[in-house]
Structure 1
Amino acid sequence: MGNLLKAFSNPFYRTSSLEILLFFAGWGIWWSFFQIWLTTKQGFTGAQVGTIYTFGSAVALVLMFVYGSVQDKLGVKKNLLIFMVSCQVLLAPFFTWVYVPMLESNFYVGAMVGAVYLSVAYLAACPVFEAVTERLSRRYRFEYGQARAWGSLGYAISALTAGFLFTINPYLVFWTGSAVSAVLLAILVFLKPENSEANVQQYENREERNKDAKSPSLKEIISVFGILDLWKIIIFVILSWTFYTVFDQQMFPEFFTRFFATPEEGQQAYGVLNSVQVFLEFIMMSLVPILMRKIGVRRALLLGCLIMVCRISGCGIASTPLGIALIKLLHAPETALFVLAIFRYFTLHFDTRVSATLYMVGFQIAASVGGIIFSVPLGSLRDSIGYQHTFLLIAGIVLCATVYAFLILKKDDQDVAGQPLEN
């Protein structure tokens, strides 16, 4: 409790936590039901849903490198966040009057236009919010995991609310998303603790400030593509986190709702399950930094992979909604371990001045490449052999990725080129 009160006394922690909470709340209110909306309300097949996700991954892939490069040049400035959130405010008008009519008149054109908007406003924005929060945590002395946890809480509250709004009228989730984004935009524009000299004097880490002052050149940013160790991580992410994304976003929502008597009952149950799971993720995001200091970054990442294998394979074996729901809750420790450990791995073994670009390329873009490669084939496979057999296949691939990670991941005291671990 003492540590929590100390964290809240830091205005940079409070502001960053509120911003990331509202971002995930505004995204989760509709994104958690996007696959159900596409299949049950718009009537698309698994292959068509896979196409929509593939287009989104393709556009986000390019955009995330651009966003990462821009943010590394900006340092801790939030100009890019303000632009993205301004686009998020337009969510409901876009879905209501642009996206749905275009999908109905020409599916592929609509899917591409939707991919551009969703990537600009959300898919490529998420890692920027995380990267900015992580950079601020080093600059102004607070724990990144504790701040990121508030994003999970925001998503949990939204997922619970969305389950009920969606059954009343699906478009309510989009309009609520726009409203939350409008609040976030106002906070980004008007709430600036860095404008107070007293705040800066008390909380700023001058060593990190000096690092940020040496903004990386475009050549240094592009040079990350020449780092062999980064490519090893990219392969690992493609064969692991990609399948987490495909499983969770493209397949699990409708799979779970099929176990209920009516679609509405299933959608409400999924909303409750999703919110409970993400609330547990909120708790785990606060606890994992402590665990990571005990067992190390490498072991935390490997543990996250093993939990992923158990969760996905478990859903392929379980046959009751209660069993599947309990297995799904493993998502909480899995996500917290993987996301926090992979970010810390980059800041531990690589130059922190290009941390946003490294995170985009090595984690987010890698996952997008995997999404492009696997979304449509796995959607078609689901159409032909069913959900549960597809889940078992995915779990087998992630198990192979875990063995590969054990062989290629550096130990925590090996090649420390970034911020060393605390003793």
Structure 2
Amino acid sequence: MQNFLMKALRNPFYRAGSLEILLFFAGWGIWWSFFQIWLTTKQGFTGAQVGTIYTFGSAVALVLMFVYGSIQDKLGLKKYLLMVMVGCQVLLAPFFTWVYVPMLAANFYVGAMVGAVYLSVAYLAACPVFEAVTERLSRRYSFEYGQARAWGSFGYAMSALAAGFLFTINPYLVFWTGSAVSAVLLAILVLLKPEKREENIQRYENCEERNKATKSPSFREIISVLGIGDLWRIIIFIILSWTFYTVFDQQMFPEFFTRFFPTPEDGQQAYGILNSVQVFLEFVMMGLVPILMRKIGVRRALLLGCLIMVCRIGGCGLASTPLGIGLIKLLHAPETALFVLAIFRYFTLHFDTRVSATLYMVGFQIAASVGGIIFSVPLGSLRDTIGYQHTFLLIAGIVLSATLYAFFILKKDDTDVAGQPLEA
């Protein structure tokens, strides 16, 4: 592992891509990790109202992600779209302080929709673009995507740890810190350009990937991905699996965990520490999973991630102490690394890599957004009625069914290889 990392750090494209994705997740995680707690404890919204906010966000992100994916596939490795999104992220604190909160107080549904538009433009639809660009950079300039994506988890972990303390001092500190981190990221995107040095190109560029990128996909080719039957089978799988990762982790778990502590402040600090440890472990797993995938294959890695998700969500429905719940929550680390890296590699293995951003948006991120629209409000209302833990057990049952479905529909690694073959 150490040799892999040292070799990667010598690559200026790896350093640039890792730094950019680290700062993006740090600027997002500093406030997003406490967003559900902020909505319930500071703004006083019910589970159904929180579900409505997440549903609106998922609906707007659903449309925007397809637009972003299409634009980025046309741009290739150019980062103009990233700069626009990060420019919006810099406005996070002013938006939350002077626009979002007053609008939610004046008219909840109008405020929720305006917030959904901003959050989708700046963050919800931006996350997969950063991941897609980093993955494309990794293929073009000879580094491992998982090891670069790991730094995003590291940035999120550090932010979550800091957020646990900042939030208890003043909740708005997390938003202002997010704006500051985004300002640094914008400067990095504008100034850090390793591709401007010819010696970097000659040493690290993959000529085969460069030749593939010389002909950017037409709009018709991008749209044509919607007619791929295999993609729709993946979409059904994602709706019934990764959707519930999002609903469970973002909409339910934070406030559920803090209830096990004598005061909200104690719970919020404990959650910040737990979230940080969990995502730090995710950072480690992001570096190890690519090695594991070479041993067991992409399909098996994806199925393993699903099984861990079932155990994690179901375990939280059975555990009754904060220690037990915290230990189970740490299974998030291998689960996320296996699922995210394996699904991305599945797309680049079995589909045309020139439309990888669109495929990732439609087949993974948009599919999860559709699931969020379908399930966020009903599950929020169900949580209000039967409680968190019974809801978790129901979610675990649905994900188990999705895992069985995936066993039959996922292609084997040596079947229909239309993209980049697995390494020998």
**Fold conserved (TM > 0.5)?**
yes
| CA distance in structure 2 between the partners assigned to 1:368 and 1:42 by the alignment | 24
Amino acid at match of 1:108: Y
Q: Please give the alpha-carbon distance, in whole angstroms, between the structure 1 residues aligned to 2:314 and 2:7.
A: 41
Q: 2 CA distance for matches of 1:30 and 1:264?
A: 16
Match of 2:125 in 1: 124
Q: CA deviation at 1:213?
A: 1.0
Letter matched to residue 156 of structure 2: Y
Q: Residue 2 of structure 1: CA displacement?
A: 2.0
Aligned to 2:279: 278
Report the AA paired with residue 21 of structure 2: I
Describe the superposition over 1:287-316 as per-residue Cα deviations: whole angstroms up to 9, x where unpaired.
Answer: 000000000000000000000000000000
Per-residue CA deviation, residues 387-420 of structure 1 (Å, 9 max, x unaligned), is 0000000000000000000000000000000000
Deviation at 1:336, TM superposition (A): 0.1
Letter in 1 for 2:332: H
**Residue pairs, 1:230-309, within 5 angstroms:** 230-309=231-310
- Where do 1:19-168 residues align within 5 Å? 19-168=20-169
Measured in 2, the distance between the counterparts of 1:3 and 1:394 equals: 38
Deviation at 1:5, TM superposition (A): 1.1
In 2, Cα distance between equivalents of 1:284 and 1:307: 14
* Partners of 2:149 and 2:26 in 1: CA distance: 13
Correspondence for 1:333: 334
The aligned runs of 1:334-413 (5 Å cut-off) are 334-413=335-414
Residue 188 (structure 1) aligned with residue 186 (structure 2): no
Q: Aligned equivalents of 2:415 and 2:304: distance in 1?
A: 19
* Structure-1 separation of matches of 2:7 and 2:270: 37
Question: Which moved further from structure 2: 333-342 or 206-215?
Answer: 206-215
Correspondences of 1:168-247 after superposition (within 5 Å): 168-247=169-248
Give TM-score, length-normalised by structure 1.
1.00
**Distance in 1 separating the partners of 2:103 and 2:389:** 33
Alignment gaps of 5+ in structure 1: none
Which structure 2 residue ranges, 5 or more long, are not aligned?
none
Distance in 2 (alpha carbons) for counterparts of 1:391 and 1:418: 37
Identity of paired residues, percent?
A: 88
CA distance in 2, matches of 1:198, 1:183: 27
Query: Hey, what's the Cα distance between the residues in 2 that align with 1:40 and 1:83?
Result: 32
Q: Distance between the aligned counterparts of 1:332 and 1:6, measured in 2?
A: 24
Aligned to 1:18: 19
Q: How many Å separate the matches in 2 of 1:338 and 1:234? A: 14
The letter for the 2-side match of 1:404 is Y
Post-superposition Cα deviations, 1:21-42, rounded to whole Å, max 9, x if no partner, equal 0000000000000000000000
State the Cα distance separating 1:111 from its structure 2 match. 0.2
Cα distance in 2 for residues equivalent to 1:93 and 1:408: 46
Amino acid at match of 1:311: R
Aligned residue for 1:306, secondary structure, equals helix
Moved >3 Å (runs of 4+): none
Alignment match, 2:10: 9
CA distance in 2, matches of 1:162, 1:212: 40
Q: Which amino acid aligns with 1:400?
A: S
- What is the alpha-carbon distance in structure 2 between the residues aligned to residue 322 and residue 8 of structure 1? 37
For 2:126 and 2:112, the matched residues in 1 are separated by 19
Separation of aligned partners in 1, 2:243 and 2:288:
25
1:146 partner letter? Q
- After TM superposition, give the deviation of residue 134 of structure 1 in Å: 0.1
Q: Distance in 1 between matches of 2:201 and 2:415?
A: 33
User: CA–CA distance in 2 between the matches of 1:123 and 1:367?
Assistant: 11
TM-score for the superposition, normalised by structure 2: 1.00
1:364-394 superposed Cα distances (whole Å, 9 cap, x missing partner): 0000000000000000000000000000000
Instruction: Tell me which amino acid in the other structure corresponds to 2:193.
Output: K
Which amino acid in the other structure matches residue 177 of structure 2? T
CA shift, 1:194, in A, is 0.5
Per-residue Cα deviation, 1:82-120 (whole angstroms, up to 9, x for no partner): 000000000000000000000000000000000000000
Task: Measure, in 2, the Cα distance between the counterparts of 1:93 and 1:213.
Answer: 41
Q: Distance in 2 between matches of 1:300 and 1:6?
A: 25
- Take 2:178 and 2:140, find their aligned partners in 1: how far apart are those partners? 30
Structure 1 SS opposite 2:77: coil
Q: Which amino acid is 2:339 matched to?
A: F
Q: Tell me the number of residue pairs that the alignment of Structure 1 and Structure 2 aligns.
A: 423
> What letter corresponds to residue 25 of structure 1 in structure 2?
A
AA matched with 2:336 = T
Return the alpha-carbon distance in structure 2 between the equivalents of residues 141 and 197 of structure 1: 16
Shifted more, 272-281 versus 194-203: the winner is 194-203
Tell me by how many angstroms 1:4 deviates: 1.2
